[in-house]
Amino acid sequence: MAASLYQPASHARIVGLRHDLDLSGEQLKAALELAQHVKQSRQRYASALKGRYLTLLFEKPSLRTRMTFELAIKQLGGDCITQTGMIGDREPLKDVARNLARWTDAIVARTFTQETVDELARWSGIPVINALSDLYHPCQALADMLTLKQQFGKLKGLKLAYVGDGNNVAHSLLLACSRLGVSCSVATPNGFEPNASIVAQAEQFAAATGAQIEITNDPVEAVQSAHAVYTDVWASMGQEAEAEERKRVFANYQVNDSLMAHARHDAVFMHCLPAKRGLEVTDHVMESAQCVAFDQAENRLHVQKALLLMLLQ
């Protein structure tokens, strides 16, 4: 890539990221390429977003998402304002969206529902980035794919096994993996499988890229020959009332040394964090040399910079 600032080709520019499929397959690859470039050349982009201002809206508590977005914006020369709490609780969401559009250049939203993200995009008329909703976590999946590529030197032909709740992270992993030629096996308890329509979309993409999609209730089957074993908390924010019941239901889905032994000898362990040690993963696995969870967390910063450049530069 040339030494000058990256200028997105017309096919790589994006108008928002409400969900994973707002990125085409080519844009997905371009985002990963740019993220790697930005990671290696931080100072080159220090003024790329000079004069740009973004709004960060957080309905849910956040460490990685808030810190990495604030840092990404500022390290690119822009600035942001952050507001926490429910969006639209004091006035209609459509009025909030239209106010923000008069003041800032884009919105980053971490919300309880996908509908909130979609409504912000509909009424604001400015780019909206989904920083997590109940259905998708696209920025996390991008960081995960960058981490895998750095670990194995490629993506196509790898296998990722996800063990646990078929949640927003599982959905975004299915959509990212299938478009990049990464086979994805998801193991959940009965009744906790990922959204059927998202699985169907992933299967269509996989048919074109040569990847395999598997949905199972058997974690051992899922991790066979896997290059990466991934898990997430059993009870996400907003599901606290279900936490005790989920501990019982998910007890056999813990990622521990025994389960990791069924993956490849060079397999890595992945987690989007925060991790509940002793529940979905043991402390020993989290502290093992196989764990790349903190590489994933770092890469959130770099992929989000790439998205911002593709959106606003």
Indicate if 110 belongs to the active site: yes
Peptide bond connecting 274 to the previous residue in cis, omega within 30 degrees of 0: yes
Catalytic residue among 27, 140, 254, 296: 140
CA distance 43 to 308: 16
Check if 140 is active-site: yes
Catalytic residue status for 137: yes
Identified catalytic residue from 19, 64, 179, 300: 300
Catalytic one among 20, 105, 144, 232? 232
Q: Which of 52, 137, 179, 246 is catalytic?
A: 137
Three-state SS letters, 197-244: HHHHHHHHHHHHHCCCEEEECCHHHHHCCCCEEEECCCCCCCCHHHHH
**18, 19, 64, 110: the active-site residue:** 110
State how far the Cα of 200 lies from the Cα of 207, in Å rounded to an integer.
11
Catalytic residue check, 232: yes
- How far apart CA 103 and CA 146 sit, in angstroms, is 33
Q: Which amino acid is at 26?
A: E
Give the C-alpha separation, 270 to 151, whole Å. 12
Catalytic, out of 80, 177, 272, 291: 272
Which residues, 6+ apart, have CB-to-CB distance to 181 below 8 Å?
A: 155, 156, 157, 209, 210, 211
**Active-site amino acid positions:** 110, 137, 140, 232, 272, 300
